[in-house]
Amino acid sequence: MKQTFRYILFVLVASLWATLCFILPEFLEDPVNGFRGVLTIGLYVAILGGVQFLLLYVFLLNKYVAAVVLPIYSLLGAATAFYRYAYHATITPLMVDVMFHTTKGSVASVMSWQLFVFVGLNLLVAVLFVLYRWKRLTLNAQWIHLLVSVAAFLLYYSFNSYLQKRINQSYPMNVVVSMKEYLSMNREAVQRTDVKIDEVSAVDDLDIVVVLGESARADHVSLNGYPVNTCPRLGERHNLYSLPDIYSQYANTLSSVPHLLTMADSINPSLSASTRSFISVFSDLGYATSWISNQDYGHTYTDFIHEADTAIFPNADKSVYVYHPWYDEDLLPPVDSLMANTDKRKNLYVLHTIGSHWYYNYHVTPSLQQFTPMTDSRIVTQNTEQQMLNSYDNTILYLDYFLDTLISRFEDRTAVVIYLSDHGESLGENGKWLHAGDGEAMHRPAALVWYSDSYAALFPEKAEALKQNSRKRYRTDYLFYSVLSAAGIYADGNNPQVDIFSHR
């Protein structure tokens, strides 16, 4: 019993060190308000510290294992913590990909003496723990300890789905999960059924721009009658239409995006897992295709990203659990570069935005944070309802700026820009906030379409049909066939009922 007590105390000290050095940096800049906010963050840190305790309990049981694992654990933990605090970067599958394919110059650019000092000190602490474990601690019946501690970790890890997601975003599970998803990203694509094409209109020059939004709801778009002017720029544009009555079957990105990209519908949702997306159709027809994203690779739609000729991730080191500013306008320079350098006259651009994802303030540039007072804590319940609404409305105002700026690049081209949010967002209705749950507002995404004058001249009947259809009711199933139809492409099974560019 005395041996066990000494070992538990030893692991407690080691886990306290790991929590303070590897976990706490994740939270140091989180926006919180007052003692209650600090207390809540402290609870998060303590919960994640429990993960450190259970893992270190396992790793330190055998002194030989401890001598190998603990220095590595320290090295990786210190490096990830340093970059999280100094660069607001976290481990993601894309970051793993970057690390495996980066150049020596890129590596040197993010090295510093502070990094070496922090890593070196933690490595020294790890060595001291290992020496103490070798010289001062003995522990009998290690197999019993192993079985109990592993069982305790599995129970702790699977106790709550939300907690499990948070654990997966923190060290060391974020390394394991990101490596797993990275390997998934680079596996061979699932064999999917090709989309059969019935008819293709003869087009020489055309740009199709599809913008996948995030958490934007239709009734907060002022073009749809919302009393707050959230779309001052788009409201001044001609050839722009808002579709106010769209229903999304899903309220989370991982389920929604595959549904949007494929011919899946509410009757045949499994088609999102067995068929190719509209990106493949454009690629097969000679379009230059690109995927430009402000989000991570999503394992449910990785195959579709691979269908594009080019994939660009300007913020590969960001995750929704990183509370630091990052903006959708970062997608615009890659668009400019592709437009300037492509030798093809027909192009498909798919932009995946971070949009109105929580934490709202950090996805809106300061100049567009016009509705005040805004939220001042990442903990939803610490903010008033008005603060939440103001911060959310600022994201729609930013969307207005982003889409207007994007459209300006295509004004003098034969082009159409199609925006659809993946789902909506709950803003206090029935006590519900954000998304990924069950609430009517989560299923009501914003949708907008703009076309250039030269596009209207090329496809006058489509421009007229859009005008007539814009106020009709659709499910998000319309996107697949409408994107193809916008380019004069008609797919197998095309139904005018789900084509916003068709008279029905």
| CATH classification at residue 344 | 3.40.720.10
Residues 179 and 244 in one domain: no
Phi, psi of 132 (to 5 degrees): -65, -40
Q: Are residues 235 and 121 in the same domain?
A: no
**Alpha carbons 65 and 157: distance in angstroms, whole number:** 23
Site of tokens 């209650």: 36
Is the domain of 295 the same as that of 397? yes
Distance of CA 395 to the CA centre of its chain: 16
Is residue 63 located within the same domain as residue 171?
yes
| 355 within a domain of the structure (yes/no) | yes
The neighbour count for residue 218, using CB atoms within 10 Å, is 23
Whether residue 270 is contained in a domain is answered as: yes
Domain range enclosing 440: 209-498
What is the model's pTM? 0.90
Longest CA pairwise span in the chain (Å): 86
Q: Confirm whether 338 is domain-assigned.
A: yes
* Domain end among 116, 151, 185: 185
Is 174 in the same domain as 306? no
Based on the fold, state whether residues 154 and 292 are members of the same structural domain.
no
Q: Got the DSSP string for 292-303?
A: EESS---TTTHH
Q: CA dihedral defined by 223, 228, 230, 233, rounded to 10 degrees?
A: 70
**Same domain membership, residue 229 and residue 106:** no
Cis peptide before 373 (omega within 30 of 0): yes
Of 185, 201, 225, the domain-final residue: 185
Q: Is the peptide bond before 172 cis (omega within 30 degrees of 0)?
A: yes
Does residue 201 belong to any structural domain of this protein?
A: no
Residues 222 and 156 in one domain: no
pLDDT in 10s for each residue of the chain, 504 residues: 788 999 999 999 999 999 999 999 989 888 998 888 999 999 999 999 999 999 999 999 999 999 999 999 999 999 999 988 888 888 887 777 766 665 555 556 567 889 999 999 999 999 999 999 999 998 888 899 999 999 999 999 988 888 888 899 899 999 998 888 878 766 666 789 999 888 888 898 999 999 999 999 999 999 999 999 999 999 999 999 999 999 999 999 999 999 999 999 988 999 999 999 999 999 999 999 999 999 988 888 999 999 999 999 999 888 877 788 999 999 999 999 999 988 779 999 999 999 999 999 999 999 999 999 999 999 999 999 999 999 999 999 999 999 999 999 999 999 999 999 999 999 999 899 998 888 899 999 999 999 999 999 999 999 999 999 999 999 999 999 999 999 999 987 667 789 999 986
**Same structural domain for residues 474 and 438?**
yes
Cα gap 105→125, rounded to integer Å: 30
CA distance 332 to 211: 12
| Residue 194 near residue 203, CB atoms below 8 Å | no
Single out the residue of 187, 181, 182, 253 nearest to residue 216, CA to CA: 253
Q: Which two tokens stand for residue 240?
A: 């722009």
Calpha distance 375→323 (Å, rounded):
13
For residue 476, the 8-state DSSP code is T
In a domain, 203, yes or no: no
Q: 83 and 173: one domain?
A: yes
Q: Verify that 156 and 215 share a domain, yes or no.
A: no
Structure tokens belonging to residue 395: 């994201």
Structural domain contains residue 53: yes
Local structure of residue 72 (DSSP, 8 states): H
Q: Which two tokens stand for residue 80?
A: 């990830």
CB atoms within 10 A of CB 455: 23
The total of structural domains in the chain comes to: 2
For tokens 């789905």, the residue is 161
User: 326 and 360 share a domain?
Assistant: yes
Query: Final residue of a domain: which of 150, 185, 220?
Result: 185
Handedness of CA 94, 408, 445, 388 (dihedral sign): positive
Whether 202 maps to a domain, the answer reads no
Question: Residue 192: inside a domain, yes or no?
Answer: no
